[in-house]
Amino acid sequence: MQEKEYKNIKRNADIRMKGFKEKKDVADFFNIIDEKISPLPGIELVSLNKAAGRVLASSIKSQVKVPNYDRSAMDGYAIRGEETFGASTYSPIEFKVLGLSLPGKPFEGCVTTQTAVRIMTGAPIPEGADSVIPAELASEENSYLKVAESIPPGKNVGKIGEDVEIGQEILCAGRKLRPQDIGILSSIGISTLPVIKKPIIDVFITGDELLKPGSMPEGYKIVDSNSVMLDALVFRDIQIHPNIIFLEDRRELIRNALCKSNADFILISGGSSVGQEDHAPSLVKELGEMLIHGVALRPASPSGMGIINGKPIFLIPGNPVSCLCSYDLFASRAIRKCAGINYELPYKSVTLPLSSKISSMVGRMDYVRVKINNECVEPLAISGASLLSTTTIADGFLLVPGECEGYPSGANVKIYLYD
């Protein structure tokens, strides 16, 4: 049957066992993603304590003022500011202390001539008062306050609506919600809010040499690493786990899984290249449209993207370094764009000098794992797509663009830091 399959390949003139005729640029792949992928339609309502990191589906305007009253910005005494004019250490001015204004427990009376009300930060300014003298600039004894400094009217008073006005747009649609955003939404009385849905992701793991994670490697079988790695990568990006589905390398099984999937995205790990068991590319062509397949990138050149019934399908090489590189550059970009979040590479970057030169072929982007030693960048590996240890030993990676033949020792290069 395998021999028959091979003859079919030859007859049907597909690309298997022939290599890619042409490899597209990484930038072409980005353009296809950017053109084809949009934030998911529809919204999800979430409560405030689930909203951080989510993306607002519509803008939020305030129905209220924050605060809803003039309040003290200090611990001290509420007074009429102009009555302190002329006060000094040598001739302090005296005020009778009428009572206390606490946050949530206002002073009920009125501040009149030469009177004061002790007041705490956040407490309502009593009627009649217009400023607050800080506690450390006054001294109180037997209900009389001595003020030795003049305070202009309005000083240390937070005006009604100073934080938020009625009708003010607090946050725009598309905002990725920060902790402080959740705080301000709470302060204006919001408890649930509409956010962009997260895509549901199916991850198909193919490869007859693979044992499931949790197994010990045995004989000619290896234990799959891509499923748990892709699980962690998808979780990093959208904080939900994908559905992981292991599939035998049988064309009908993979076809069936592609047709049955209810996910918003499918990632297929393995079988994405031009080997005779690489079913994914031809299945995508059979069931839908292949938008790009074969990229001028090392590793991860057998990456691809197609569409079946409007659903994006990402072909991810089975070699684990290629899998990481392909996911981060392509699938991750698409998934994050779909979730409405920033879709640039999700790594911190630094620029540092190279400790030795990097040679790269013009026309191909290289994903180079690097280590940082003494504030210098040491290239570790360009090739070795199957050696995941190159990415665990590395501190990060750099991308040598296609138009570049590499960098001399000492050149400043931008490094993306893993983690």
Residues numbered 82-141 forming contacts with a second copy, rule: CB under 8 A: 100, 102-106, 118, 120-124, 134-136, 140
Which residues have C-beta within 8 Å of that of residue 90, sequence separation ≥ 6? none
Q: Among 13, 86, 89, 218, which residue interacts with a second copy (rule: CB under 8 A)?
A: 218
Site for a second copy contains 186 (CB under 8 A): yes
Number of Cβ atoms within 10 Å of the Cβ of 264: 18
Select 32 or 328, whichever has its Cβ closest to a second copy. 328
Which residues have C-beta within 8 Å of that of residue 181, sequence separation ≥ 6? 52, 171, 175
Select 257 or 388, whichever has its Cβ closest to a second copy. 388
Positions in 49-78 near a second copy (CB under 8 A): 49, 51-53, 64, 66-69, 71, 73, 75
Using left for φ > 0, alpha for ψ between -120 and 50, and beta otherwise, residue 340 falls in: left
Q: Among 2, 89, 91, 113, which residue interacts with a second copy (rule: CB under 8 A)?
A: 2
Positions in 275-294 near a second copy (CB under 8 A): 275-277
Look up residue 225 and give its amino acid.
S
Closest approach, Cβ 209 to a second copy, in A, equals: 3
Residue with tokens 């699980």: 231
Q: Give the H or E element holding residue 284.
A: helix 280-287
Select 277 or 378, whichever has its Cβ closest to a second copy. 277
Closest approach, Cβ 198 to a second copy, in A, equals: 16
Q: What are phi and psi of 383, to 5 degrees?
A: -95, -165
Residue with tokens 């009604």: 160
Select 105 or 357, whichever has its Cβ closest to a second copy. 105
Select 203 or 308, whichever has its Cβ closest to a second copy. 203
Dihedral sign of CA atoms 314, 22, 300, 276 in order: positive
**DSSP-derived pairing of the beta strands 311-316 and 376-381:** unpaired
Site for a second copy contains 399 (CB under 8 A): no
Q: Among 38, 215, 356, 359, which residue interacts with a second copy (rule: CB under 8 A)?
A: 215
Q: Tell me the three state secondary structure of residue 341.
A: coil
Site for a second copy contains 22 (CB under 8 A): no
Closest approach, Cβ 135 to a second copy, in A, equals: 5
Select 38 or 186, whichever has its Cβ closest to a second copy. 186
Positions in 151-170 near a second copy (CB under 8 A): 158, 162-164, 170
Closest approach, Cβ 193 to a second copy, in A, equals: 12
Side-chain-side CA neighbours of residue 250 (13 Å): 7
Residues that contact a second copy, how many (by CB under 8 A): 103
Select 232 or 259, whichever has its Cβ closest to a second copy. 232
Select 100 or 376, whichever has its Cβ closest to a second copy. 100
- Token pair for 372: 């940082």
Distance (Å, rounded) from C-alpha 84 to C-alpha 82?
5
Using left for φ > 0, alpha for ψ between -120 and 50, and beta otherwise, residue 412 falls in: beta
Closest approach, Cβ 87 to a second copy, in A, equals: 18
Closest by CA position to 197, among listed 39, 18, 401, 313: 39
Cβ atoms 231, 203 nearer than 8 A = yes
Site for a second copy contains 352 (CB under 8 A): no
Site for a second copy contains 181 (CB under 8 A): yes
If you ran DSSP here, which 8-state letter would residue 50 be given? G
Positions in 229-258 near a second copy (CB under 8 A): 229-233, 235-236, 241, 249
Cβ atoms 309, 245 nearer than 8 A = no
Select 3 or 403, whichever has its Cβ closest to a second copy. 3
Number of Cβ atoms within 10 Å of the Cβ of 218: 9
Cβ atoms 317, 270 nearer than 8 A = yes
Select 109 or 134, whichever has its Cβ closest to a second copy. 134
Q: Tell me the three state secondary structure of residue 356.
A: coil
Part of the chain binding a second copy (CB under 8 A), chosen from 79-87, 197-205, 210-218, 401-409: 210-218
Closest approach, Cβ 181 to a second copy, in A, equals: 5
Q: Among 227, 261, 301, 303, which residue interacts with a second copy (rule: CB under 8 A)?
A: 227
Select 403 or 419, whichever has its Cβ closest to a second copy. 419
Site for a second copy contains 222 (CB under 8 A): yes
Positions in 357-376 near a second copy (CB under 8 A): none
Which residues have C-beta within 8 Å of that of residue 49, sequence separation ≥ 6? 182
